[in-house]
A and B are shown apart, each in its own frame.
Chain A
Amino acid sequence: MKQVIVRRAIAEMFNEGFMASEITRTLNNTDPELRPQAFESMRPPRTVPDGCFEFAHHLIWLEGLLEIAPVSLTADEAEGLMALSRERARFRSEHPPCVKCGAPNEKAAFRCRECYAEIQKI
């Protein structure tokens, strides 16, 4: 799988994770029969094939594994882990955590989307 596609999949996976709590809240207040359509309309659009996310999930799992045990990596995995690290840094810089609850927020937000605490601007 091309690295540029993997990188995009990782970026979109972070974005999906960022949107997840908001989407879940909305879905909980939606008629169960309408939930699939509601989910499709709310989820961030994917610009890479769905299969790329499978590898992105593998990288997340592998990253956790490497914290507890050394394992040999394939070239794809090594490059993927570097892309994961870069994309995470980019996501964090664009979505600073709330000082009170730690939830990531939009850089321009004035209040935390989870706990509504005021976000201190530096």
Chain B
Amino acid sequence: MKKQVPAPAPVLLNLDVPRVITLKSKSGEFVYKTRRVTLKDWEQCFLGFIDQSLRVDGEFQKVYDADSSLIELADRVIVDCNTAKVPFSHRLAVGAVLRTATPVEDSGAEVMDRVVIGLGAVWPVEGASQVFEGLLHCFRYPSIEDLKRWKFENSRVRVRGEGKDSVSSYPSRLAIAMKLYDDLIESVDGYAVGGSPLEGKENIVREMDGAHKAMAVMALFTRDSEVDVQ
């Protein structure tokens, strides 16, 4: 079935507006103000994700931990809150909210030599969570070299030990995706900086949120082919 380009967001998502995250629990309402999450913060966060396969005396174990890194991210970016001590679960929740960006269903419409990926995101502004949909990322069509780079970077696993007692640390796909975004992006729709729509490749590369960059490229390389077989 031919994929449709999602409708652009009716309201622009302001990337440079401080995010205020409100968490409600039985003990009250907790408000966390965060500074803007920089690309360096995201890179550090994604590189901190642990994805390992272990063999201990031949026994296979899979280890995946993104939570610790999200907690560290929250610790770095929370600048103000209405509680003396931030509970562990809230730090994780803040990190998870900051990371929220998901490809819209059936994303990846191909228009001429471009691929349009649509994202949805929760972006808390002024304490109220706003759901944004139709955040469009328009990529140039990935070349063979781009695809090869994606595959190569993902296959670069760090290993230690021998077969029976070994550790394999898989690279962070999100960190790789974030790097590739800058080469592939052409334009975006639905975002704003300083109240004006985000335009121009240079501006997009500099201003776009790291989590959105990563999710858009992940969706780009994992989308279903659009070729119709009749």
Contact = CB atoms under 8 A, between A and B. Distances in A.
Interface of A: 1, 5, 40, 45-52, 54-55, 57-58, 61-62, 65, 69, 71-72, 74, 77
A69 B145 CA distance: 10
Interface string B151-165: 110111111111110
B169 interface: yes
A46 to B, nearest CB: 5
B148 interface: yes
Interface in B168-184: 168-170
A41 to B, nearest CB: 11
7 contacts: A1-B157, A46-B55, A49-B163, A50-B60, A52-B159, A54-B170, A58-B151
Contact of A48 (B58, B144, B151, B162): B162
Secondary structure of the B contact surface, majority rule: mixed
A49 B148 contact: no
B53 interface: yes
Interface in B111-168: 144-145, 148, 151-152, 154-164, 166-168
Nearest to A36: B60
B151 A51 contact: no
B159 A49 contact: yes
A65 B170 contact: no
Nearest to A40: B60
Contacts of B154: 54, 58
Nearest to A45: B163
A47 B162 contact: yes
A1 B158 CA distance: 7
A54 B157 contact: yes
Given A46-B163, A49-B168, A71-B144, A55 B157 contact: yes
Nearest to A61: B151
Residue of B145, B148, B160, B170 ringed by the most chain A CB atoms within 10 A? B148
A62 B151 CA distance: 9
Contacts of A40: 60
Nearest to B170: A51
Contacts of A58: 151-152, 154-155
Contact of B148 (A5, A50, A71): A71
A47 B145 CA distance: 32
A58 B155 CA distance: 6
Among A45, A50, A61, A65, the one with the most B-chain Cβ atoms within 10 Å of its Cβ is A50
Contacts of B148: 62, 65, 71
B155 A55 contact: yes
A35 B164 CA distance: 21
Nearest to B148: A71
A47 B164 CA distance: 7
